[in-house]
Amino acid sequence: MEKRFVYADNAATTKPDPRVIEAMMPCFSENWGNPSSLYGIGQEAKAVLNGAREKIASLMGCDAGEIFFTSCGTESDNWAIRGAALAGVKKGKHLITSKVEHHAVLHTMASLEREGFEVTYLDVDEFGRVSADAVRAAIRPDTTLVTVMFANNEIGTIMPIREIAEVCHEKGVVFFTDAVQAVGHVNMNLHELGVDMLSCSGHKINAPKGTGFLYIKKGTRVLNLIEGGGQERGKRSGTENVAYAVALAKALELALASIDDLKRVEAMRNRLMDEILRRVPYSRLNGPREGRLPGNLNISFEYIEGESMTLLLDSCGISASTGSACSNNSLEPSHVLLAIGLPHEKAHGSLRLSLSHENTDEDVSYILENLPPIVQRLRDMSPLYHEGMERIKED
Ligand code: PLP
């Protein structure tokens, strides 16, 4: 097969959709006013901003007043956690999260620990799932916030969010979910789901990077993270990025309009998964077969390093990653893979392929043609592999 470009890292970011770019362009030429200004072009910009907010609210099943635009998923996560923790100090300083959260959550928790909060990090099962019973058992009289992600960015595991929300409400504890990987990929209605706060990032659904929102259910107490001119109803200051709000609303609309196409993405992912596991010995699937994000695939290959694999794949035109994009900067094994019980060696040899609407069956065939020989080439160069094979022969 001829060399081609196959982007298979959609969990890291997605390609901006031309329809999204087109929708936001008038904000640079016509509706460029400051939404806080009282004159015409300011008020026009404000109407465009609020139109985007209303569209998002109707798509997400909540009220427009519950959507706050932010600069990214990381900001939304920081705000929800820090804001709710600080708002709850009269009741207590105990927070609960899981061991498989994104660093936007884990590092915020760590900074709160340094400020005197106590954090319980829940274990997950072998598939990366947090159970509602584990949440119930961890809640104490001084617990103020539980945060468990909607879907894991590395292994795609979808968490029992509705059940966890029920437990939290029974116990009178605020529940936040980082839904950066789930919004647009999993059907949800926020008022029915029952979460108190939820974060979204636009660049995972074909909007530009730097777009996001935080849903805060009416009545939830959250202190501000960013102070200033009082934009976003006094809760998130900074002159609003109207263009990006429009882009996010359009991207969400498009993602939800084509959500049924994710069945095709899932079928491609399943073919990729079954064929890799069949063709490559000493490989294992990380995360569950069912109950995972449709495009996500994470596989560990024994005896090799994920980084070398991604470099060789790149030389064939295939973009993939070893785990979350951020942990790619460090050579530490993924905390998610360690939390599901993988030993360090296996965690090091993991590869994440994340497919989207843009991928085709030809892309899958191209990966299947290139990946197995790359694994074999790396194993042939690996002393660990030869030692392992010797050991297997001796047994
Ligand atoms: N949370 C999860 C689960 C993510 O996957 C990411 C990004 O990869 C983030 C938060 C951070 O979002 P952003 O890149 O918009 O800051």
Tell me, yes or no, whether 83 lies in a domain.
yes
- pLDDT tens, position by position, 239-279: 999 999 999 999 999 999 999 999 999 999 999 999 999 99
Quote the pLDDT of residue 395: 82
27, 200, 316, 326: the catalytic one is 326
- The answer to whether 216 touches 262, Cβ cutoff 8 Å, is no
Q: Which of 157, 180, 328 to mutate to test the pocket of ligand 1 (most atoms within 8 A of CB)?
A: 180
Distance in Å, CA 16 to ligand 1 centroid: 16
Q: Is the pLDDT of residue 90 over 80?
A: yes
Residues 264 and 243 reside in one and the same domain = no
SS3 9: strand
Residue 368, Ramachandran bin (φ over 0: left; ψ between -120 and 50: alpha; else beta): alpha
Same domain, 225 and 314: no
Confirm whether pTM is higher than 0.85.
Answer: yes
Looking from the CA of residue 149, the nearest atom of ligand 1 is 3
| pLDDT tens figures, 160-169 | 999 999 999 9
Tell whether the model's pLDDT for residue 326 goes beyond 50. no
120 inside domain: yes
Q: In the annotation, is 326 catalytic?
A: yes
Q: Give me the chain's average pLDDT, please.
A: 96
Contact call for residues 232 and 79 (beta carbons, < 8 A): no
Tell me, in angstroms, the distance from the centre of ligand 1 to residue 17's CA. 19
- For the domain that residue 236 is a member of, what is the CATH number? 3.40.640.10
CATH number of residue 333's parent domain = 3.90.1150.10
Residues in the chain: 395
User: Which of 204, 222, 257 is where one domain is finished?
Assistant: 257
Q: Among 208, 240, 257, which residue terminates a domain?
A: 257
In this structure, the answer to whether residues 52 and 119 fall within a common structural domain is yes
- For residues 37 and 175, membership in a common domain is answered with yes
Same domain, 265 and 138: no
Looking at the structure, do residues 87 and 27 belong to the same domain, yes or no? yes
Is residue 325 pLDDT above 50, yes or no? Answer: no
Report how far ligand 1's centroid is from the alpha carbon of 158 (Å).
15
Q: Give domain status of residue 1, yes or no.
A: no
Least confident of 218-227, 264-273, 383-392: 383-392
Decide which of 257, 281, 311 is a domain's last residue.
257
- 176 shares a domain with 34: yes
Q: Domain count for the chain, please give it.
A: 2
Measured by CA distance, the residue closest to atom 12 of ligand 1 is 73
Q: Is the pLDDT of residue 293 over 80?
A: yes
Task: Tell me how far apart the alpha carbons of residues 131 and 102 are, in angstroms, rounded to a whole number.
Answer: 18
Atom of ligand 1 nearest to the CA of 326: 8
Q: By residue range, what is the domain housing residue 245?
A: 18-257
The protein residue with its alpha carbon nearest to ligand 1, atom 8, reads 12
Q: 141 with 284, same domain?
A: no
Residues 247 and 364 reside in one and the same domain: no
**What's the whole-number mean pLDDT along residues 336-342?**
96
Task: Note whether 240 and 150 are same-domain residues.
Answer: yes
Residues with CB under 6 A from ligand 1: 72-74, 77, 102, 104, 149, 153, 178, 180-181, 201, 203, 212, 324-325
- Mean pLDDT over 202-215 rounds to 98
Q: What six digits make up the tokens of 315?
A: 């030389």
Q: Do 204 and 106 share a structural domain? A: yes
| The pLDDT of residue 345 | 86
| Assigned domain for 38 exists | yes
